[in-house]
Amino acid sequence: MNIIITINKQSKVPMENTNIAVVTGANKGIGYAIVEQLLLHPTKYSVFLTSRDTQRGEEAMANLLKKYPEFKNRLHYHQLDVSSSKSIDNFVQWLEDNQKTVSLLVNNAGIFYQREIRPNNGNFEFVDFLPPEDTKRIIQTNVRGLIELTEKLLPYLADDGKIINISSLAGELWWQGEAVQNWLSDSRLTRQGFFDLLDTFEQAAYKQQHPALGYFGSIYFTSKAFVNAYTRFILPRLLKKNQTGFAVHPGWIQTDLGGKEAPGKIDDSYVSTLAIVNLSLEDSLKLSGRYFDEFGKLKDF
């Protein structure tokens, strides 16, 4: 095998061009835990911890390197704000300049405003509409940014590369009205049709009129439903023969996003992701485009 060794300009550490994993939003919470698990994984990934804020990312790097000094040649950092085209382009240019291919992309970065939703008897009830700027931020980060990064990274995805979208139970279609369920589960959904639906949803949501179209009140919940529809219908058509893509629910986990009342601990949060990482190529190809619960079990969207 031809192994190219180059210097990672940002971390100044020599790295091999084999089994590179990239995790977005990895300075804390579930993304950070996934980085740690990928370092410990027998595949011996070269892991890119990425974050929108460089200082927070470097603090996370320092914490991990303190815990695992033995991984200093396999842990790398790059700034990556998935809501910024410039930041995405910068990262992709780095892959180009350094002739890197990515074996695993974990699209983990996400935002949620807790004032939208309140837990109620083991379920959640919608509480309040968000102002347009927060609505825009959620859709930009959770949906548009995830897609922009994914599609710009595709030319650098290994021939058997995997993409794991950290979605949520919140994205399951039963939260949505019948019309939305039909639109987002239609196997004829095109990429253009997907973005037309997203635009219509976003415009309605700015005026707090999206429930009238059949959407659940929470922008976060619907953002994850769009991530699922993209994973199910659009992404598979963009992938090469042995490349695969999945959506997973990490569990309701105690993080800044999940809140203190969440039943799951951080060590529960990577079970579903690792289940997908561990799939053989044969099983990956059979299951590509599907959605998995927090235990790594196949589930309906």
As a whole number of angstroms, the distance between CA 151 and CA 131 comes to: 29
Quick check: 256 binds ligand NAP (CB under 6 A)? yes
Q: How many CB atoms lie within 10 A of CB 283?
A: 12
Residue 22: its H or E element: strand 20-23
Please give the residues from 146 up to 175 whose contact with ligand NAP meets the rule CB under 6 A. 166, 168
* Closer residue to ligand NAP (CB): 82 or 163: 82
CB of 2 to ligand NAP, least distance (A): 33
Stretch that binds ligand NAP, among 8-16, 200-208, 229-237, 244-252 (CB under 6 A): 244-252
CB of 262 to ligand NAP, least distance (A): 5
E strand intervals along 91-241: 102-107, 117-120, 123-126, 157-166
* Closer residue to ligand NAP (CB): 29 or 289: 29
Amino acid identity at 113: Y
Quick check: 103 binds ligand NAP (CB under 6 A)? no
Q: Give the largest CA-CA distance in the chain.
A: 57
Calculate ∠ Cα 163-84-180, nearest 5°.
Answer: 60
- The size of the interface with ligand NAP (CB under 6 A), counted in residues, is 32
Structure tokens given for 162: 């995997």
Stretch that binds ligand NAP, among 26-34, 126-134, 193-201, 235-243 (CB under 6 A): 26-34
* Closer residue to ligand NAP (CB): 146 or 197: 146
Quick check: 222 binds ligand NAP (CB under 6 A)? no
| Residue choice 253, 275, 276, 277 for contact with ligand NAP (CB under 6 A) | 253
Quick check: 52 binds ligand NAP (CB under 6 A)? yes
- For 141, residues 6+ apart whose C-beta sits below 8 A from its C-beta are 82, 83, 109, 110, 111
Q: 3-state DSSP: the chain helix, strand, coil percent, rounded to 5?
A: 45, 20, 35
Contact set with ligand NAP (CB under 6 A)? 24-25, 27-31, 51-53, 56, 81-83, 108-112, 141, 145, 166, 168, 249-250, 252-253, 255-258, 262
